[in-house]
Amino acid sequence: MHDILLSIILGVVEGITEFLPISSTAHLLVTERLLGLSEDWEAFTVVIQLGAILAVVAIYFQTFWKALVGLPSSAEARRFALGLVLALLPSVAAGLALKKLLDQVLLNPALAMPFIAGCWIAGGIIILLFERIAPAPRWLEGDKLPLSKAFQIGCCQILSIIPGVSRSGATILGGELLGVDRRAATMFTFYLAVPTMLGATILELHHKAGALTHGQGLDIAVGFVVSFVVAFFVIRGFLAIVTKHGLKPFGWYRIAAGLALVGYLALH
């Protein structure tokens, strides 16, 4: 029963934070630290990311299906698919090149927690500053971005391989600075999340699958379902918040969370 409760907690954290510009990786690492979880749970948190991915597919199924069946005959569908591929390539290359270095940081608690706190605070300040200087948007549709803009947003996504730097925050804010409408940048971020997260999850499972045990089957199922359900509603709510208020509320949250973590580390 204790493990089921932990599965629910981690599923909720994953579902809430995966698509918000506050870094799901950082929140999961901090949650694992606060709960005193062992390395046995690392593979678990990788698997339940698939629940969040499925939530995006469920919400935007028609967009993905239309693009898929239209590939042979529709230039628009091919451009959409090529845009996602081009946006994905930079983070794939950077992730493979820097994975060992990042793992050294993440696996060292003495480095990981202060590093995350610093990234939360710095990221919050950057959001508050950059949202003020973003140019007037020129591109208004997330599924019809020029290929050059898709690739440039993909380059922004490279920053998200750093623990504490949010993937959605990097791509949405980067898109805004590139002249993409905030809502369109958010939509493109959701589309790009599917191949990006799926690839990252497969890579992580390749390295950590050995840590999974048969006894974790029920725990994984619970975490997966909870992650899916929570992410499903968060995605819908997040789009409305970003459209109306921008990323500023999340910038303030990041600063507060970073300061709270600094305080916790100072007392422990």
pLDDT in tens, 96-136: 887 777 767 666 767 889 999 999 999 999 999 999 999 99
Q: Which amino acid is at 84?
A: L
- DSSP state letters, 118-153: HHHHHHHHHHHHHHHHPPPP-B--TTS--HHHHHHH
Distance CA 7, CA 194 (A): 23
Which are the contacts of 28, defined by CB distance < 8 A and separation ≥ 6?
10, 13, 14, 17, 45
- Stretch 200-213: mean pLDDT: 69
The alpha carbon of residue 131 and the mean position of all alpha carbons in its chain are separated, in whole angstroms, by 19
Phi, psi of 100 (to 5 degrees): -60, -40
Residues with Cβ within 8 Å of 94's Cβ and at least 6 positions away in sequence, in order, are 158, 161
Residue (of 118, 115, 95, 117) closest to 106 by Cα position: 115
Give 111 or 228, the one with higher predicted confidence: 228
> For residue range 70-105, what is the model confidence (pLDDT) as tens digits?
999 999 999 999 999 999 999 989 888 877 777 676
Phi, psi of 139 (to 5 degrees): -115, 125
The Cα 236–Cα 252 span in angstroms is 21
Residue in 122, 124, 107 with CA at minimum distance from that of residue 29:
107
Domain map (residue ranges) of the chain: 2-263
Return the axis-axis angle of helices 147-157 and 75-106, rounded to nearest 10°: 10
Report the distance separating Cα 5 and Cα 129, nearest Å: 39
Q: Across all residues in the chain, what is the average pLDDT? A: 89
Task: For residue range 185-204, list pLDDT tens digits in order.
Answer: 999 999 999 999 888 888 77
Residues 6+ apart with CB under 8 A from 149: 139, 175, 178, 179, 180
Taking only the tens place, the pLDDT of each residue in 147-172 is 999 999 999 999 988 888 999 999 99
Question: In this structure, what token pair is assigned to residue 237?
Answer: 């709510």
pTM: 0.91
Positive or negative: CA dihedral 117, 156, 175, 131:
positive
Mean pLDDT of 215-243: 90
